[in-house]
Amino acid sequence: MKTITAGFFRSKISGNSFVPLLAAVGLLLLATGAKAQPLPGGKFGPTNTPLMAWSFHDHTNWTDNDGYAPLSFTNLNYSYLGDGDSLVVDTNIPAWLQFHVVENDGTTNLTVDNGTVMFWFAPDWNSTGDTNGGFGPGEYGRLLEAGVYTPDSSFGWWSILVDAGGTNIYFAAQTNDLSSNLTVYVTAPIDWTTNYFHFVAVTYSPSNTALYLDGDLVTNGPPMTVYPGPDVLTNGFYIGSDSNGVLQAHGLFNTVATYNYPLNSNDVQTIFNYEYGYYVISPWNIPFMDNLKSAPSNPSYAPQFNVITGQGTLQWDGAASTCSYGTNAFNIWITNVIVTASGSGSNNMSLTFTIGGGADNVPYDVFANSVLGFGTNSMAWAWMGQGYHCNTYTLTNLPNTTCFLILGTPQDTSGFGLTDAYEALVMQVNPAGSQTDSYGVPYAWYAEQGLNPYTAGMGGQDPDLDGLLNYQEYFYGTNPQVSEGFAIWTSAAN
């Protein structure tokens, strides 16, 4: 079963229906386009040509952008977060993606003595330093690595990595000189949040090393003098893990690129400026982040109808061991996802997850679907119930195929009682549009009565067979699911 935590996905939704969803749902329905677009001020994108690049559009064979196949791979997944397609290296079993340093035809994918490596990365963890509480990758997570670290420098090693608590990033290397020396060229503190993409660039040469984060130069380091030899490099390099697939980065990768020369700071900044707009969950995507933060921290409306409320089919498993707060009530995510199978059959899967971020005493809607699609022509999402942040929940009896989960915030633009997320995902209507059908009956009233709010007023429906159609029941103040019999006609005649 594939699971994708609350995040940002592509969609065909456009126009005025797009903006209200930003603060309404714990995801963004992102419409993507071609990248042949100018930068602010009319300047076009970067002209630097990489040695190789990986956009991860091939989710089956994991070929690079030139079609070269990896040396090996196992237990990988993908996500539509980021720039449309992302590699996910995040399991509790070995997982890796291994490529040649130099292909059999002489094509070079990576240079370790003089060059640049850059990529976008979104962790499935938060930077807190508390590894016992489930924060950070839990080990020294490898972002990109060649060779193997050894305490006595007996082999050769080259790596960009983060520490176990997710609070520092490093660029380090060893050679096989048995000196027990580990050269840490650059290091810097980080404070990252689950599913938020960051741009990482490392440059290195015989004269200098440098680390850039989100386009800015963070620190310089000494000249590149220690690195693994050709015999080590014949084993290739790994994206997202070490050679054993155990020391994983636990996160998502996109737009990985390598160069055989060190880019200067202007080059790095240009590439970052060109790309960051395609990574909507990013601290540097200012228009989106401003929109997100502009929403009220807590719902301030008194809904006309009390529609979607309650635990639903969510099974509460208890409070999370450590509570992680969001910047406001709308900054939420799903974390600690575990999928288990019990017995046999086609509906034998259980999915356990924790709601992270958010704020106290705010109910968050959980939606599920077997198809990742949005818009009026896609399969409607199912409302699974409401949960609260820092609590763990389980959904049982799920089909053993594919399950996508999305968190919805309490945003209700209309105040009728249906959240914007519910309207967009379940009803597939514009949250900023009309809230009533052609008879003037609020969609929320239909939903409160247990009817399909989008179709209940159509086709002369009378589920309780008392002679009143659904929309007429609204104006009479009666229950469309319970027959009032002859009495209602007698009272109407008076």
Give the tens place of pLDDT for each residue, 345-404.
Answer: 777 888 999 999 888 888 899 998 888 877 777 788 888 989 999 999 999 888 777 788
Which range of 76-85, 241-250, 363-372 scores highest in mean pLDDT? It is: 241-250
Domains and CATH numbers, the chain: 29-279 (2.60.120.200), 315-436 (2.60.40)
* 38/386: higher pLDDT: 386
Lowest mean pLDDT among 137-146, 160-169, 190-199, 437-446: 437-446
Q: Give the Cα separation of 85 and 32 in Å (integer).
A: 11
Q: Give the Cα separation of 117 and 237 in Å (integer).
A: 12
State whether residue 317 is helix, strand or coil.
strand
Cβ(297)–Cβ(409) under 8 Å?
Answer: no
The token duo for 399 is 């089909």
On the question of pLDDT at 29 being above 70, the answer is no
Q: Name the nearest CA neighbour of 241 among 113, 120, 75.
A: 75
On the question of pLDDT at 302 being above 80, the answer is no
Q: Give the Cα separation of 296 and 151 in Å (integer).
A: 52
Look at phi and psi of residue 178 and say left if phi exceeds 0, alpha if psi is from -120 to 50, else beta. left
Q: Give the Cα separation of 446 and 42 in Å (integer).
A: 51
DSSP string, 204-234: EETTEEEEEETTEEEEEE--------HHHHT
Tens-place pLDDT, residues 273-301: 888 776 655 555 555 455 444 333 344 44
- Band of residue 1 on the pLDDT scale cut at 50, 70, 90: very low
Alpha helices in 228-368 (DSSP H): 230-233, 265-275, 286-293
Tens-place pLDDT, residues 136-178: 898 899 999 999 999 888 899 999 999 999 999 999 999 987 7
How much is the average pLDDT of 42-60?
79
Q: Name the nearest CA neighbour of 433 among 12, 17, 22, 21.
A: 17
- What does the pLDDT read at residue 3? 31
How much is the average pLDDT of 68-74?
95
- What does the pLDDT read at residue 305? 66
Tens-place pLDDT, residues 98-133: 999 999 999 999 999 999 999 999 998 888 754 444
What residues contact 493, with CB distance under 8 A and at least 6 apart? none
What residues contact 434, with CB distance under 8 A and at least 6 apart? none
Residue-level length of the chain: 494
- What does the pLDDT read at residue 369? 86
Q: Measured on CA atoms in the order 449, 451, 453, 459, is the torsion positive or negative?
A: negative
- What does the pLDDT read at residue 25? 39
**φ, ψ at 353 (rounded to 5°):** -155, 165
pLDDT > 90 in the chain, percent = 37
Instruction: Count CB atoms within 10 A of the CB of residue 403.
Output: 19
- Chain-centre distance for alpha carbon 108: 31
- Looking at every residue in the chain, the average pLDDT score rounds to 80
Cβ(62)–Cβ(55) under 8 Å?
Answer: no
The token duo for 368 is 């599920």
- What does the pLDDT read at residue 464? 81
- Band of residue 72 on the pLDDT scale cut at 50, 70, 90: very high
β-pairing verdict for 141-148 and 237-239 = antiparallel
Instruction: Count CB atoms within 10 A of the CB of residue 311.
Output: 15
On the question of pLDDT at 55 being above 60, the answer is yes
Cβ(460)–Cβ(429) under 8 Å?
Answer: no
On the question of pLDDT at 11 being above 60, the answer is no
On the question of pLDDT at 7 being above 70, the answer is no
Cβ(174)–Cβ(200) under 8 Å?
Answer: no
What residues contact 273, with CB distance under 8 A and at least 6 apart? 39, 40, 215
Q: Give the Cα separation of 150 and 161 in Å (integer).
A: 15
Pseudo-torsion of CA 166, 172, 173, 179, nearest 10°? -100
Cβ(321)–Cβ(382) under 8 Å?
Answer: no
Secondary structure element (H or E) that encloses residue 395, with its range: strand 391-398
Using alpha carbons only, what angle is made at residue 50 by residues 201 and 66, rounded to the nearest 5 degrees?
A: 125
Pseudo-torsion of CA 229, 230, 232, 234, nearest 10°? 160
Using alpha carbons only, what angle is made at residue 105 by residues 104 and 107, rounded to the nearest 5 degrees?
A: 95
Cβ(143)–Cβ(200) under 8 Å?
Answer: yes
- What does the pLDDT read at residue 182? 86
